[in-house]
Amino acid sequence: MRVFCGIDWSERHHDVALVDQDGQLVARRRITDDAAGFAVLLEMLSAAGDQPDERVPVAIETPRGLLVAALRATGRLVYPINPMAAARYRDRHSVARRKSDHGDAMVLANILRTDQAMHRPLPVDSELAQAISVLARAQQDAVWHRNRIANELRSLLREFYPGFLAAFINRTDGLAAPMARRILALAPTPAAGVRLDIDEVTAALRHVGRKRGINADAEAITAALHAPQLRQLPQVEQAFGRQAAALLRLLDAACTALHDLTDATTEAFGHHPDHDIITSFPGLAEVSGARILAEIGDDRARFTDARALKAYAGSAPITRASGRSRTVVHRRVKNQRLAATGYVWAFATLITSPGCRAHYDRRRTAGDRHASAQRNLFNRLVGLLHHCLTNRTPYDENRAFPPSTD
């Protein structure tokens, strides 16, 4: 007799329901969110017939957390069910739209009983791949966090310090660059910027590690800070300066955290067996390659073919047909992190791979817009990546994009 488990998750406790293949309730219980509660859950599963060679599958409404990690460590299939999908299934069991923790656990167990093949279990990734996933996502979040603070600081400087923005508007990393942060720390207000001389600016550039073009940059920065600009009232300007200094401290902390996470991500990614294959692709370096691995994992049974991976990445179009109507549109439900990395990946290949550039140009000539051509190129690269990882072969430009015989 097959048994299916549903867990209604919460921060303090979890409701567990076990049903058999006929939909009959086998066991139910509320467990605590700790090691003792997990031990009770394992006892329930064991009493219901859980065996090492035939684990009871579990459905739960979250793909992360200590409970999910502990369940994955037992070697069983864990199905993360989208809460909106679970809500639709709930209507099959109660027309009154009543909701209860035990009822939700029953709904989740019955989802596996009736539609297990329609849902995707969590992949069986290696421990190293899971660690890379944590680090790569944290590094990506750190980039977004740094950019958000830098944009907030830029918006503030526009209110009272346009000369500083003019000094760093076209420089790499903008306000997040070490030299921009160092200069702003020395001169957080226009009044302080006017008092800053070229020798102090030169010393600041040397302090952050600049070795080339220091004199020219120091002159340009000093000229921008000394140039006439609109000013706030003195006390108001001083208040804005204090606010800018506070944001600068947040930006410094965000940049430091990003640097540490980048180092940790590249170090972990360098030890993975897929490192050499992934980085053999044009446009993929240490960080971008780690982000790709973080999202697709190293469970090769996760995607049955390249089409499944393309759909997961959101690069493959979707066709909607009804009667005489037929439309082809790009996917909106996808792995957003993988899609974001894929856009950057495809863009980077335009200057590193002649084959990718030619493919992009063909799509543009055929009438695609830039984003559509980029997405089509990413779709091609995802298929090539699936092939290389499956066959354990590095990327080959001539095989990926054979030269034209015209």
Contact 283, 352 (CB under 8 A): yes
Q: Across residues 220-238, what is the average pLDDT?
A: 94
The overall average pLDDT reported for the chain is: 93
Contact 39, 62 (CB under 8 A): no
> pTM for the whole thing?
0.89
Per-residue confidence (pLDDT) for residue 170, from 0 to 100: 81
* Domain match, 298 and 249 both: no
Per-residue confidence (pLDDT) for residue 92, from 0 to 100: 78
Per-residue confidence (pLDDT) for residue 323, from 0 to 100: 86
* Domain match, 242 and 186 both: yes
End-to-end CA distance of the chain, in Å? 63
Per-residue confidence (pLDDT) for residue 96, from 0 to 100: 66
**Structural domain total, the chain:** 3
What angle is formed at CA 23 by the lines to CA 17 and CA 28, rounded to 5 degrees?
Answer: 20
* Domain match, 213 and 327 both: no
Q: Across residues 352-365, what is the average pLDDT?
A: 95
User: Which among 359, 402, 406 is positioned nearest to 381, based on CA atoms?
Assistant: 359
Contact 274, 293 (CB under 8 A): yes
- What the block records as the tokens of 177 is 């660059």
Task: Collapse the DSSP code of 18 into the 3-class scheme (helix H, G, I; strand E, B; otherwise coil) and give the result.
Answer: strand
Q: How does pLDDT run across 135-165, given as a tens digit for each residue? A: 999 999 999 999 999 999 999 999 999 999 9
Per-residue confidence (pLDDT) for residue 210, from 0 to 100: 87
Contact 114, 94 (CB under 8 A): no
What angle is formed at CA 347 by the lines to CA 346 and CA 348, rounded to 5 degrees?
Answer: 90
Per-residue confidence (pLDDT) for residue 144, from 0 to 100: 95
Task: Note whether residue 60 is domain-resident.
Answer: yes
- Out of 267, 286, 310, a domain closes at 267
Contact 346, 283 (CB under 8 A): yes
95 has a pLDDT exceeding 80: no
Contacts by 53-59, CB closer than 8 A, 24 or more apart: 56/3, 56/4, 56/5, 56/18, 57/4, 57/5, 57/112, 57/116, 57/121, 58/5, 58/6, 58/7, 59/4, 59/5, 59/6, 59/7, 59/108, 59/109, 59/111, 59/112, 59/119
- State the pairing for strand pair 3-8/13-20: antiparallel
Q: How many helices (H) and strands (E) does the chain have?
A: 18, 7
Range of the domain at 179: 131-267
Q: Across residues 97-104, what is the average pLDDT?
A: 83
Q: How does pLDDT run across 276-306, given as a tens digit for each residue? A: 999 999 999 999 999 999 999 999 999 999 9
* Domain match, 85 and 208 both: no
Per-residue confidence (pLDDT) for residue 87, from 0 to 100: 87
Of the pLDDT bands very low, low, confident and very high (cuts 50, 70, 90), residue 97 is: low
- Measured CA to CA, the distance from residue 381 to residue 400 in angstroms comes to 9
201 has a pLDDT exceeding 60: yes
* Domain match, 354 and 384 both: yes
91-105, 110-124, 264-278: least confident range: 91-105
